[in-house]
Structures are given as C-alpha cells and as structure tokens.
Structure 1
Amino acid sequence: MSYRAEYIWMDGTQPTAKLRSKTKILADGAELPIWGFDGSSTNQAEGHASDCVLKPVFSCTDPIRGGDDVLVLCEVLNTDMTPHASNSRVALREVAEKFYAQEPIFGIEQEYTFFKNSRPLGFPESGFPPPQGHYYCGVGADEIFGREIVDQHLDNCLKAGLGVSGINAEVMPGQWEFQVGPLSPLEVADQLWVARWLLYRTAEDFGVSATLDPKPAKGDWNGAGAHTNFSTKAMRESYDAIIEACEALGRDDKPLRHIKNYGIGVESRLTGAHETAPWSEFSYGVSNRGASVRIPWQVEVDRKGYIEDRRPNANVDPYVVTRLIIDTCCTALEKADLV
C-alpha cells in the first residue's frame, strides 16, 4: 500500500509569493522525507543551479483526496540545507522562541474575493451591482455569491484539523472571510498558509478563482485585509499591557516599518475610508474600526484581553506580520516590566 503526500510551499514570486504544490507517493508508514524541486521555475533559483529543497514542517489530513493522504507544508532550503532567501518562516521561529515565555497568541481574519473570469463573483457582466451595505453577513441569492464554495472550504479545513474558528460574508459581493486561531505564532501562520491552499484548491473545483488582492474592485468598495488579533499572557491579564502594546506599535519608526511589510498595495486599501485608517497615520482606539489598531469594547470593560491590528492586507505573509508584532510588542512589554 502507499499514500499520497501533497508538498506545499511558497515560491519566490515578487512582490507577493504564490503557493505551489506537487504530489509524492510514499510507502505505507514511511516518514515524510525532504524533497527537491526546480527553483528556476518558481523564481527561486537560476537555471544553472536550479535545485531547491523542501523540508516538511507541518502536515495534516488531505480532506480532498481523503484516506491516508496528507497535505505537507514545507520550508524552502538551499541544497546546503540553509534557509532559502524566500523562507520567511525561519525568522519568525527565531523571534517566537526568543519571546516564548510571554506566550504570544494570534487570530488572523483572512478576507478574500471570488472571481469568475475577470469580475468579482456577483458583479454583472457589465456595470456594477447595488452599492455595498447589505452584503455583509447577508442571506439570499441577491446578496450572497459563492456560499457553496465557502461551506466546502470550511468543511475541508475542519476535516484537515485546522484551527479555523469562523467564517462570514464580507462587505463587497463575492467577498468572504475565514478566521484562523487563536494559536501560537508558528501554528497560526502555518495553518493559514494551508487554509489558503485549500481555498484555492476548493474554488478550482467550482471553476472560480480566489484572490487576496487588497483592492479587488476599484472605487467605492471595501478592500480585503487580514486583521491580526494578538495578545500575550500579560495582555490577557492587564489593561496596562494592552495600552503599552498599542503605544509600542505607534512608537518611533514602527508604523512605517510595519506598513511596508503588511502586504503590497497597502496604500490602495488604507485610505481612511471603508473601515480603515490612513496608511500614513497611526492611531488606536476602543471599538474603533477606523483606527490602525482596535481595542475591542469588551477588552476595555474587562481591563484585559487582546488587540486587533487592522492594517495588514489580505495578501500579507503571516510569517512576517506575526514576527513584526511579536518583536515590537514583546520587546516593549519586556522593557516596561509588563511581562
């Protein structure tokens, strides 16, 4: 007997990496080995030295093929077993280990948009649908487009054992969201990448594509983000730690440093309209979806909890956003003796 292992990795496409995958047939009971691929075809190597290495780092049940088959998320290495330049996971691992004692956890809200041919799902062949306002968490064939794909994607994520905590229709037609977490930094990032792969693969069966474009429809339509919820042990126990984390994100060069790494096209989404703060200004506030960072109202009431960084784009690298938030907030909490 044998089983199929779908090896998944992030390529070297710039400015936003694409997901790639291929299938390895393994003998029943065999361990997941390292594997190779042609990096010259994925923007990760030159043709004269094209070999790159796939190192398994996370695996789960393959909900599409079923049986004993698995999905295998991989880091990309050079042939000397050093991290490839496109490998952003290794930097997160170092920072997560450094601040492990602070117990950082994340929940990421992944927004995305379905497209049929060249238009968002639900948009007429010419012109535009009625203005947004009633699509969010809506019901009915005149308001909701793609629910059968969304439900199948959710089923696939749950069968795979991923930590998906919810789904909902978003503000624009054909736009949806799923949430991953709360989980530790590496867990949330690994599982978000696999959930993204499952999104693309599930939509493929319906003849529909899914995009993480932060502004999929120009004009008076909401963009797509990846709102990132974050807390440490201290933040889950102290409102002082909540405020210090917010202050740290707005201190010195941190706002610009984060924005530059929160996904390409962030300026087109963070305009100050459509539930966003301007990309060039940092702010935080209680229950304020027009702020860079939101403190949920219940957190203020309870005087403890978590914060939501609303700036990351839908196309953000979860390894990068989690690393930046941990580094900024946990360093500040440590210096302020709030750990």
Structure 2
Amino acid sequence: MAACAASSAAVAGSAFAGATSCRAERRNAGKASLALRNGLLSGTSSLGSCLPNELGNSYGSLRVSSSKTRHARLVTFALIAQKAEYIWMDGQEGKKGIRFNEMRSKTKVIPRPLPAGSTNFPEWSFDGSSTGQAEGNNSDCILKPVYSCPDPIRGDHHVLVLCEVLTPDGKPHQTNTRRPIADLLSEDVLEQETLFGFEQEYTMFAKSGHPYGWPEAGYPPAPQGPFYCGVGLEAVYGRPLVEAHLDACVKAGLKISGINAEVMPGQWEFQIGPAGPLETGDHVMIARWLLHRLSEDFGIICTFEPKPMQGDWNGAGAHTNYSTKDMREEGGMAAIKAAIEKLSKKHKEHISAYGIGNERRLTGKHETASIDTFKSGVADRGASIRIPLPVSLAGKGYLEDRRPAANVDPAKFRNSEGAAENQSRHPEVTFPVAKPECPATL
C-alpha cells in the first residue's frame, strides 16, 4: 500500500515537472508530494502550508495557467483528501435473519485530513427511515464520531470512524447503547480498573446459504471434534478470510489478541482485549465491521447467529472475561466469588440483554448451561460462570461469563459483572454491563 502511495506521489511530481509556469506552485506541490511520501499527513503537520494556494486555503479560486497544471492539482488533491468511513449500528442484530447484520457505514471525504485517533471529525446525518431508526416524515439521524483508527483496507491516511447515533435534537438515540457506558464511568468505578476481553465466535456461510466449506448436500465427513483448532484442508474451512481479518485488525491498531478455528467446521472466533470498558466495545465493533467488509471480497457471509445449525453442532457465543483490580490482587478469589454471588441474583435480567435467539444455544448441551439455570464452577465449560483453572490455582485473576450469544451488543451487554460488582456503590445500577473476552492472560 505504501508503494502505491509512493507511486502516486511520483506521478504528481512528474506532472508538476512538466508544467511550464507557476514555478512557486510547482515547488509547493513538490513539497506536498514529499510530505505525503514521508507520512506527514497528520492534524499537527504543516502540510497545508506546503500546498498550492487553492488547496492550502480552503480551495479558493483556482489560478490555472495550463491543462497540465490543472491535472497536477487534481492529482495532489486526490493524494491528500482523506476518506473517512463512518460506521454505526442500527440496533437490529439478530432481527434481520442470518444474512444481515447491524453494521452500517458510508464514506465522507475530508479535504483537510485528521489523524487516526482523533474524534474531531464532523458530525454527519443519515436516513434513519432506511435503517429502522426513524420515521419517513422525520428521518434524519445524526452520526457523532467517538472513535477512529487507521483504515487497513484503503491504507494511506484513510480512517475508520465509529459513531454514536443521535436524534435530531442531539440526544442519544434509543439504539445508542454506548452512551450509557460512558455515563456510568464515574471516578469510583474507574478506580476499580476494570478489564474486559471478548471471544467473538462467528460462522461462515456460502452465498447459497449453506455453511461455508460443507458439502453441497449433507454434512462434513466427521462429527464435530476434529475441527477445533484444526489444521489441514479436511478440518479447516475459510482460513484465508480469517488471516486477512487478523491482519486488518492489527493494522487498524485494535487490541486483537488471537484467533482460532471453533468446534463446528466453518466456525471461527477472534478475541479482543484485555482493555477498558469503552475501548473494548469500540474495538469489537470495528473488528466486526472489518469482518463483514472483507467477507465481501471473499464471497462469504459471516453471521453471529447463536445457533446457525440445528442438531449436534455447537452454537456461537461471545464468552466474556471480567476482572477488577481487587480480583487481580493477592486474595482476589474472594472478590471473584463475591461477584459471582451478585451475578446469580440477576441471571434473568442479564440473559435478556445477552443476544436474540440465545435460547436456541443455551440448552445445557454443547458446552453451555441451560438458559433457566445459573451455576458456576472451576474449569467447567457447562457452567454459566467459569473460573479458569489457572485462576483457581493462583487464587486471583478473572471470571468468564459464558452466557452471552455471538450477536450480543458489546455495549448493551455492558458488563453484568461490572454492574453486579458496583451494586453496593450504585444501588440504582441494575442493568447488565457485560463486555468481551480474551485469552487466559487477563
């Protein structure tokens, strides 16, 4: 990708060299191309002062002396203008069938690039009547940028911009589940230094609607078992997409901590974390968008459906690791057990926020506890809350909530652990606040 940028910059330099007038503009354009090649496109650079007048001064009246000069200026603009992909959620995960997800996005061109990581991108609007978020007679909804990162697909200085959805009067839309988390993070909550991780399982389907890699008629050559963390053509389906997604997440700067093939063939997972409350949810949603976007290029449909195949096949979950400072310190097992006790009293309430269709997955079989039962145990994958064996041996660490479905909203499911843990300080907090899972390194 960097080679493409350098090649494009060389084209710009060549075009300017061919111009026979406006020597000062040629010098400025040369500086702009050099700045681009050296990666100086950031909100704090002086690149704007290196541009020809019409580019450096809000694109004022053009002073053109030849067609070559016009072409050169257009090339320079194309190199410098930034593509910002605005991403948001329509709040309908699991409501549109397994072929559709809740991610929406559109591209805004930013004439004066901003650095990845900035939240100073302009607010934008979209047609909420086409996403199920507004009525046709008052359809505008507002996109408020809250997180940005490098765009690993477009490369160069382009960015992905995660947005909250606001109503026309600037209030959080009912599908905006991120804002309540931000409002919850008071000083005493932040003092707990909560960390989260997220195991995002997903299933690949072919365009035909059949699980990807499965025979067109029938089932794989063996029952589930040989496929988990497998290797080889007979065991693993769809690895090229998985590797492309991992690379994209790394290049975007997301806190992705691993990938593996799952128990059902054609099913995979990636892990995000450890990270803080807002960071975890933001990274999960960008990682989900990247998965769906790259799936387009591979001709694959990825779904977070909790039970994509009926019968003796595992469902897809979003197991959640949760840890506070008290849990990670010596004697932390007491804090872990106290949190589990509080979680047990809110089981039904948490289940209601843990994903649509989760009752098809939480049957008491296929490494799940029954949806009507709450139980915990050490190294028990059939428990609602699992204490990993290394945590039990160390007497400190974290707990794993195995109840959330793969299609859970990583914001709405904020952290049942966090809500329970902070109940004594915030008695009014009764909603689930669960967040994602990571490997056993939390």
Aligned to 2:306: 214
Check whether the contact 1:96–1:323 (CA below 8 A) recurs between aligned residues.
no
Moved more, 72-81 or 117-126: 117-126
Q: Alignment partner of 1:166: what SS?
A: strand
State the distance in 2 between where 1:87 and 1:333 align.
Answer: 25
Paired with 2:294 and 2:414, the residues of 1 have a C-alpha distance of 26
Change in Cα spacing, 1:268 to 1:206, as seen in structure 2 (3 Å) is same
Structure 1 letter corresponding to 2:133: Q
Residue in 1 that maps onto 2:81: 2
Q: Which residue of 2 aligns with 1:310?
A: 402
Spell out, residue by residue over 1:18-49, the C-alpha distance to the aligned partner (whole angstroms, 9 max, x if none): 11000000013354100000000000000100
- 1:324 CA displacement: 3.0
Q: TM-score, normalised by structure 1?
A: 0.95
Query: What is the rounded CA distance, in whole Å, between the counterparts of 2:130 and 2:397 in structure 1?
Result: 45
Where do residues 231-270 of structure 1 align in structure 2 (5 Å cutoff)? 231-237=323-329, 238-251=332-345, 254-270=346-362
Q: 1:185 to 1:201 in 2, by over 3 A?
A: same
Q: RMSD of the TM alignment (CA)? A: 1.4
1:99 & 1:64 partners in 2: Cα distance?
37
In 2, are the aligned partners of 1:92 and 1:322 still within 8 Å (CA)? yes
C-alpha deviation, 1:170, in angstroms? 0.1
The structure-2 alpha-carbon separation of the partners of 1:239 and 1:323, relative to structure 1 and needing over 3 Å to count, comes to closer
Asked if 1:92 corresponds to 2:171, the answer is no
Q: 1:1-339 residue pairs with structure 2 within 5 A?
A: 1-13=80-92, 16=95, 18-30=102-114, 31-97=120-186, 99-116=189-206, 117-129=208-220, 130-237=222-329, 238-251=332-345, 254-331=346-423
CA contact (8 A) 2:322 2:399 kept: yes
Contact 1:270–1:278 (CA under 8 A) maintained in structure 2: yes
**Paired residues of 1:120 and 1:174 also in contact (CA < 8 A):** yes
| Structure 1 spans left out of the alignment, 5+ residues | none
Tell me which amino acid in the other structure corresponds to 1:35: W
Whether contact under 8 Å (1:96, 1:326) holds in the other structure is no
CA distance in 2, matches of 1:274, 1:14: 23
**1:332 CA drift (Å):** 5.1
The C-alpha deviation readout for 1:254-305, integer Å capped at 9, x for no partner, is 0000011100111100000000000100000001001000001111111110
Contact 2:199 2:271 (C-alpha < 8 Å) held by counterparts: yes
User: What is the count of residue pairs matched by the alignment?
Assistant: 333
Cα shift at 1:93: 1.4
Q: Quick one: which amino acid aligns to residue 213 of structure 2?
A: G
Shift of the 37–313 alpha-carbon distance from structure 1 to 2, 3 Å rule, reads same
Paired amino acid for 1:248: K
| Per-residue CA distance 1:167-224 (angstroms, 9 max, x = gap) | 0000001000000000001100010000000000111100001000000111000000
Aligned 8 A contact 2:339 2:417 in 1: no
Higher relative CO (CA 8 A, sep ≥ 6), structure 1 or 2? 1
Contact 1:245 1:332 (C-alpha < 8 Å) held by counterparts: no
More strand by percentage: 1
Q: Which runs of 4+ in 1 moved over 4 A?
A: 14-17, 332-335
Aligned-pair distance for 1:333? 8.4
1:106-148 deviation per Cα after TM superposition (whole angstroms, max 9, x unaligned):
0000000010021111211111112101000000001100000
Which consecutive residues of structure 2, in runs of 5 or more, have no partner in the other structure?
1-79, 96-100, 115-119, 428-442
Code of the residue aligned with 2:102 in structure 1: it is: K
What code does the residue aligned with 2:197 have? G
Cα shift at 1:320: 1.6
Contact 1:244 1:333 in 2 (8 A): no
Take 1:321 and 1:270, find their aligned partners in 2: how far apart are those partners? 17
